Amino acid sequence: MPHITIKMYEGRTPEQKEEIVTVFTKELSRIIQREEQYITIEFNEIPLDDNAPANLRKT
């Protein structure tokens, strides 16, 4: 079972995450020739801090 873990700062919308899942799943399936239903994706969101890009930090 292929599994992708994505580590990123928090704050992405559900729509953005869904697009990531769709694109990554489709492309991994194509590359490794495995059915999409067997691919899983996990998001590990990092709390925003001083190291986060300015456009993500809360004002």
Q: What is the gyration radius of the CA atoms in the chain, in angstroms?
A: 14
Going by pLDDT thresholds of 50, 70 and 90, the confidence category of residue 59 is low
Q: 36 is in which domain, residue-wise?
A: 3-46
CATH number at residue 42: 3.30.429.10
CA angle 28, 31, 39 (to 5 degrees): 30
Query: Is 53 among the domain residues?
Result: no
**pLDDT for the residue numbered 50:** 83
**Average pLDDT of 14-33?**
98
Domain count, the chain: 1
Q: Are 41 and 4 in contact (CB under 8 A)?
A: yes
Give percent of the chain with pLDDT exceeding 90.
76
pLDDT of residue 56: 79
